[in-house]
Amino acid sequence: MNWYRFTIHTVTDAVEALSYSLEEELGAKGVEIFDPKDILMQDKSPLDWDYIDEDLLKDLSRDEVLLSVYFPEEMFERPSDVEDIKLRIRHMLDRISEFLPVGTGAIEQSCMAEEDWANNWKKYYKPFHIGHILVIPSWLEAEAEPGDRVIRMDPGMAFGSGTHETTSMCVSLLEEVIRGGETVFDIGCGSGILGIAAAKLGAGRVYCTDLDAKAVHVAAENVRDNDVADCTTVHLGNLMQIPELAGVHPQVVVSNIIADVIIGFAPKVYEVLAENGSFIASGIIIERKQDVIDALSACGFKVLKVLEKGSWCAVLSGK
């Protein structure tokens, strides 16, 4: 199948409203968002490689977002249908511009085969390190250095491929607390990257949980593909309501979610955590850092370390 692609030159503020309108009003079958600020403005340490090849981005403006929207070829029965879509996108931009900046609003149109759509984005991605964890996209090969633990995972997997600051801080803290043989809970596991990292670092048993069925499916595939299924399981549901975990007291709990959720279940984590255990909490915007620290302290946790990266922080506490 061939696809028509319309690429709109816009800005970050308009992306959410524009993406919603393109899908809901025009019936777009796919939206691809490329925002250089997501890459160029990340804080990096000398030991971290980004998933993105910046040589391919050097000519792009930091302020311009490329939003590409895809329509199947059968939607365009007449040549005029293409111009009609472009006109409707233009009207959409005009409407959104009444309450949000939309940038230049330039629109480019092209036709591409499905296999090109599926693979074209891959040229931007490359292997990267998080501490001693080397994350490699599944379609690439990379040579691991001595001491590296390799995880194969694609960008865009459900909820986390490792590039976000919160994930990298969690991995750094896992490297500090895992000595070998620990039982680990990964709460809100998403793609499973933190649970897999814990297994690769030497944890004896890892239990990943998530409330999202898609995330659980993806995480289970990633666990299998990374050869840690012998010590790692993925469960759908609330941590406290999963029968298989009743009576299990982990030495390490890691959760990369949001501040309010962490505050809400911190007492339960304290309840199930083994004595002298460690709780790694991330997904916390810096403005909520003190709220989380206060909630952890109120439960009885001792806050041992706080990492900050970009606009985010991670908190390591102990029981």
Judgement on whether residues 169 and 281 belong to the same structural domain of the protein: yes
Range of the structural domain that residue 39 is part of: 2-45+61-122
**Chain segment 212-233, per-residue pLDDT in tens:** 888 898 899 999 999 999 999 9
Q: Does residue 143 fall inside a structural domain?
A: no
84-113 pLDDT, tens per residue?
999 999 999 999 999 889 999 999 988 876
Residues 165 and 307 in one domain: yes
Q: What is the pLDDT of residue 79?
A: 76
Q: Which residue has the higher pLDDT, 245 or 30?
A: 245
- Are residue 185 and residue 301 in the same domain, yes or no? yes
Residue 281: inside a domain: yes
> Is residue 245 situated within a structural domain?
yes
CATH code assigned at 95: 3.30.70.260
Instruction: Examine the domain organization and report whether 116 and 164 are in the same domain.
Output: no
Residue 283 lies in a domain: yes
Q: What is the CATH number of the domain that holds 202?
A: 3.40.50.150
Domain assignment present for residue 114? The answer is: yes
- Report the alpha-carbon distance of residue 255 to residue 269 in Å, rounded: 10
**Contact predicate 64/37, CB 8 Å:** no
Query: Sign of torsion, CA 297 299 305 310?
Result: negative
Evaluate if residue 59 carries a pLDDT over 60: no
**Number of domains present in the structure of the chain:** 2
Residue 163 clears pLDDT 80, i.e. is over it: no
Predicted confidence at residue 46, as pLDDT, reads: 35
Residues 249 and 162 in one domain: yes
CA torsion sign for 200, 311, 137, 52 is: negative
Structure confidence by residue, pLDDT tens digits, 117-157: 556 656 656 777 777 888 877 777 777 778 788 888 875 54
Residues 66 and 117 in one domain: yes
Q: In what order do the strands lie in the sheet with 312-318?
A: 232-236, 205-210, 183-187, 252-256, 278-285, 312-318, 302-309
197 and 258: one domain?
yes
Q: Do the strands 183-187 and 205-210 form a parallel or antiparallel pair, or are they unpaired?
A: parallel
What is residue 134's predicted lDDT score, i.e. its pLDDT?
A: 83
In this structure, are 76 and 185 located in the same domain?
A: no
Q: Is residue 285 part of a domain?
A: yes
